[in-house]
Structure 1
Amino acid sequence: MTAHSSRPAIRSSVLIALLCYSGVIIALTMLKAFFTIGLLWKPENQRVRGLSLVPLNDLWESSSLFTQLFGYGGNFAFFVPFGILAYSLIGRIGMTTLLGGSFSLLIEVSQYAFQLGFSDIDDFLFNTLGAASGALFAAWIGPRANWLWVTLTAVLVLVFVVLVLLGPRLGSPNRVAEVNASVLHVQKAPLTGNVASMVT
């Protein structure tokens, strides 16, 4: 197979990888009320509606550095693969950033409209930055790595599917430990040592 004849095949593979990864993004942002992975979150706590339009409000409102790192860093990293794959198809950093921002905005609006999660301007901002960074990275590496991106995405999606199938069998409620007793006393809410407290 020549390099010219392989281009449609790699483009199709990148498109499929992008669609599959987008499905993972949707599942982890809007569909957590319908499945669980271990003790990361409680599905019954996911049917909520909230809205925050103040940028970077966690910097002064959150009492936990982990919440800030998990929220900002997680949302940034979440969209880096999206940016890499989208750039591999589009070939333009600006358009990839716009696509990532539009996708993130659609998710945030849908979360609010359908009561499927907390809509936050910070999520939109860091998702968009992540997509832009992914595009910049893909542009720097060049198209020779497209098969690598497809392979890594396939592995990631497969791991996600396996984790969903295993579901609650991955965690033991007896091993969840309460932390930060002073915060517990003030907030009157359970704060546990797993990520569930950050994403419920």
Structure 2
Amino acid sequence: MTLHPDGYFTPKQVNWIPLSEHGWALTCLIQNSCVSQRRALWFLLIDVIGNVIVFIPVGFGLAGVLHQTSLCSTFRLATLGGFGLSLLIELSQLAIPSRSTDVDDLIFNTLGAAIGALGFVLLRQSGEGKLTKTAGDS
């Protein structure tokens, strides 16, 4: 997870291969092929789900701030903004000796931002439908 240094990487390790760090954990859980299934499960929960969840409010907030006339462009801009913020975080970690940079964080953070932006768009869309019905009924 971006904000929590953990013991899975050695300091200053950089991973540019997508999902390479998660393959062992998925294999372990699916094939029941390792001794430390609990460690694999926690790794996936903390790293994958944690990175996604942390960026859901980012995507939602960016969509609210960047709200355009088109809900589709709002979604795209908020997702792109989440990607940009995550990229900035990952690149800044290159300068910190105790931190690691991982492309998976970029992927999962962006996914979280997209989910948050989608939540905003769906909420906005449902709200506009209610406003239209109310205005038309008066």
TM-score (norm 2): 0.66
Pair 144,133 (structure 1): closer, same or farther in 2 beyond 3 Å: same
The partner residue of 2:19 within 40, 56, 65 is 56
- Structure 2: distance between partners of 1:95 and 1:101: 10
The partner residue of 1:109 within 91, 94, 101 is 91
- Structure 2: distance between partners of 1:116 and 1:98: 28
Runs of 4+ in 1 over 3 A off after TM superposition: none
Give 5+ residue unaligned stretches, structure 1: 1-27, 34-40, 146-200
1:46-195 aligned within 5 A: 48-62=11-25, 64-91=40-67, 92-142=74-124
In the alignment of these two chains, the number of paired residues is 107
Once the two structures are superposed, residues 159-191 of structure 1 have per-residue CA deviations (whole angstroms, 9 ceiling, x without a partner) of: xxxxxxxxxxxxxxxxxxxxxxxxxxxxxxxxx
Q: Identity rate of aligned residues, in percent?
A: 32
Pair 90,54 (structure 1): closer, same or farther in 2 beyond 3 Å: same
The alignment yields a C-alpha RMSD, in angstroms, of 3.0
Secondary structure of residue in 2 paired with 1:137: helix
